[in-house]
C-alpha cells in the first residue's frame, strides 16, 4: 500500500530535471564564472538575459521561468559580491524579470502555434491518404512504385494527382497536373480522381473514361482552368492503351533504352475540349515482360538547378533503371532534390509501372528431369 505514493513522489524530481534546459543554464553559469574570474562586478549581468531568451526558442514557459529565476539569482549574487548599489541591482533584477516574462509569453505563443501546425499537418496527411490513396507494390500483373512531393511542404498535398485501380477491364491508371495551386487545385484533383475511379470500373472503353472526366470538368471548372493528364489501361496481355491529354509524354523503358511515348495526335488538356473541338486519340503500345513505363508531372521535368538547367529525367531514368521499381523511383527522387538544391518549387509526382519478366516454371523443369531419369533408368 505504501508503494504507490512513493512511486508518484519519485517521478516529480525527474520531471523537474527534464523541464530544466541544460544549454541555457550552462550559458548563464559560464557568464557568471567569467564575471567572477574577471572581477568585473555587474558588467556581465545584462548578458544573463541570454539564458531565458535561448530557452524560449525550444522550451516551454516553465523552463523559461526556471532559467530566468536562476539568472536573476545569479545577478543578485554578483551584485552583492561586487558591492553594487541597491538601485543598480534593482534595475538589473527588473530587466531580467521583464525579459524572462516576455520570453515565457513568447514560448507560450510558440507552443500554441506548434500545436496548431501539428493539427494542420495531421489533417493534411488524412486528406492526402483520402485523395491520393496508397498504391500497393503489386497491382494485377504489374509492379508499381510511386513518389510524390508537394511544393508546399507543410501542406503535403497539391495539384498533382495519380491513381491506379484494377478493374474488370484490366489495370487502369491516371497521372495528371491541375492548373494552379492551393486549395482550388486540390479540389479539382479530388474531382478528377473521383470521376476516374468511378468511370474506370464502369466504362469498357478507355476513351469513354476520359470523356466522363471531361464532362465532369466542363460542368465544374472555370473557363481558364484545365487538367493535363495521361490515362492508361492494360486491357489484354501485351498491350497498353494510352490517352494523352496535353500532358508530358510518358517514358517507356525497353531493353535499357528510354523512349518518350509521344502522342500520335496531340489533344488538349481535360476541360478545354469544348474550346478546341479536338478529341483525344487512343494509342496502343506493345508492353511485354520486362518493359517499364514512367509517368510524371511537369514538376519533375521543369525543376531547375542554380544554373537554371532543367532536370534531365530521361537521362536519369536510363542511369537508375533496375529490377526494383521502388529503388528506381527513390533514386530519381533523390537526384531530383539534389538537382534543385533540396527543395522543389512545384509539386512533383513519379509513377513507375513495370511488367516483370515471367520466371521459368520450376515444375516443368522438375517434370523434364523426372522424365529423363525415368527414361534413363534401367
Give yes or no: residues 255 and 297 share one domain.
Answer: yes
Number of domains in the chain: 2
Largest CA distance in the chain: 117
Q: Is the pLDDT of residue 246 over 50?
A: yes
C-alpha–C-alpha distance, residues 11 and 9, integer Å: 5
Give yes or no: residues 86 and 9 share one domain.
Answer: yes
Closest CA to 174 of 313, 296, 264: 296
Give yes or no: residues 55 and 81 share one domain.
Answer: yes
Residue 105 lies in a domain: yes
Give yes or no: residues 141 and 165 share one domain.
Answer: yes
Backbone angles phi, psi at 208, to 5 degrees: -70, -30
Q: What is the pLDDT of residues 111-127, one digit of tens each?
A: 888 888 777 666 666 66
Q: What is the pLDDT of residues 257-286, one digit of tens each?
A: 999 999 988 889 998 887 777 888 999 999
Q: Strands of 251-254's sheet, edge to edge?
A: 138-139, 142-149, 348-354, 292-296, 251-254, 257-260
- Supply the pTM of this predicted model: 0.68
User: What phi-psi label fits residue 290: left (phi over 0), alpha (psi between -120 and 50 degrees) or beta?
Assistant: left
Give yes or no: residues 174 and 305 share one domain.
Answer: yes
> Is 124 within 8 Å of 146 (Cβ atoms)?
no
Give yes or no: residues 159 and 60 share one domain.
Answer: no
Residue 372 lies in a domain: no
Residue 334 lies in a domain: yes
> Is 88 within 8 Å of 79 (Cβ atoms)?
yes
Give yes or no: residues 143 and 97 share one domain.
Answer: no
The predicted pLDDT at position 3 comes to 43
Give yes or no: residues 79 and 154 share one domain.
Answer: no
The domain boundary residue, chosen from 71, 96, 124: 124
Report helix, strand or coil for 357: coil
CATH of the domain at 161: 3.60.40.10
Give yes or no: residues 116 and 170 share one domain.
Answer: no
Residue 220 lies in a domain: yes
The mean pLDDT of the chain is 82
Give yes or no: residues 154 and 237 share one domain.
Answer: yes
The domain boundary residue, chosen from 95, 124, 153: 124
Give yes or no: residues 277 and 336 share one domain.
Answer: yes
Range of the domain at 150: 133-354
Give yes or no: residues 140 and 16 share one domain.
Answer: no
Q: What is the pLDDT of residues 7-66, one digit of tens each?
A: 444 454 445 444 557 888 888 888 888 877 766 556 667 788 888 888 888 888 888 888
Amino acid at each position: 500500500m505504501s508503494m504507490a505514493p512513493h512511486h508518484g513522489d519519485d517521478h516529480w524530481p525527474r520531471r523537474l530535471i527534464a523541464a530544466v534546459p541544460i544549454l541555457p543554464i550552462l550559458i548563464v553559469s559560464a557568464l557568471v564564472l567569467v564575471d567572477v574570474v574577471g572581477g568585473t562586478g555587474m558588467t556581465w549581468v545584462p548578458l544573463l538575459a541570454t539564458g531565458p531568451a535561448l530557452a524560449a526558442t525550444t522550451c516551454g514557459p516553465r523552463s523559461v521561468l526556471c532559467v530566468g529565476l536562476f539568472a536573476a539569482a545569479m545577478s543578485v549574487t554578483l551584485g552583492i559580491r561586487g558591492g553594487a548599489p541597491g538601485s543598480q541591482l534593482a534595475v538589473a533584477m527588473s530587466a531580467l524579470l521583464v525579459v524572462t516574462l516576455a520570453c515565457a509569453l513568447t514560448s507560450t505563443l510558440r507552443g500554441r502555434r506548434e500545436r496548431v501546425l501539428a493539427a494542420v499537418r495531421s489533417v493534411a496527411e488524412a486528406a492526402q491518404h483520402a485523395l491520393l490513396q496508397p498504391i500497393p507494390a503489386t497491382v494485377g500483373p504489374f509492379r508499381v512504385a510511386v513518389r510524390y512531393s508537394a511544393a508546399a511542404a507543410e501542406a503535403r498535398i497539391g495539384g498533382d494527382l495519380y491513381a491506379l485501380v484494377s478493374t474488370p477491364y484490366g489495370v487502369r491508371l491516371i497521372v495528371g497536373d491541375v492548373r494552379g495551386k492551393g486549395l482550388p487545385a486540390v479540389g479539382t484533383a479530388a474531382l478528377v480522381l473521383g470521376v476516374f475511379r468511378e468511370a474506370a470500373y464502369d466504362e469498357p472503353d478507355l476513351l469513354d473514361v476520359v470523356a466522363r472526366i471531361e464532362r465532369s470538368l466542363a460542368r465544374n471548372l472555370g473557363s481558364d482552368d484545365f487538367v493535363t493528364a495521361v490515362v492508361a489501361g492494360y486491357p489484354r496481355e501485351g498491350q497498353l492503351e494510352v490517352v494523352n491529354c496535353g500532358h508530358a509524354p510518358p517514358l517507356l523503358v525497353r531493353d535499357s533504352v528510354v523512349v518518350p511515348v509521344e502522342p500520335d495526335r496531340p489533344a488538349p488538356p481535360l476541360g478545354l475540349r469544348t474550346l478546341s473541338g479536338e478529341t483525344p486519340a487512343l494509342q496502343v503500345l506493345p508492353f511485354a515482360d520486362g518493359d517499364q513505363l514512367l509517368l510524371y508531372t511537369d514538376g519533375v521535368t521543369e525543376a531547375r538547378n542554380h544554373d537554371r538547367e532543367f532536370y534531365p529525367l530521361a537521362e536519369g531514368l536510363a542511369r537508375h533503371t533496375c529490377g526494383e521499381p521502388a529503388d528506381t523511383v527513390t533514386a530519381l527522387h533523390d537526384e531530383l532534390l539534389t538537382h534543385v538544391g533540396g527543395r522543389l518549387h512545384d509539386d512533383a509526382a513519379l509513377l513507375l509501372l513495370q511488367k516483370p519478366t515471367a520466371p521459368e516454371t520450376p515444375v516443368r523443369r522438375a517434370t523434364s528431369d523426372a522424365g529423363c531419369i525415368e527414361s534413363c533408368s534401367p
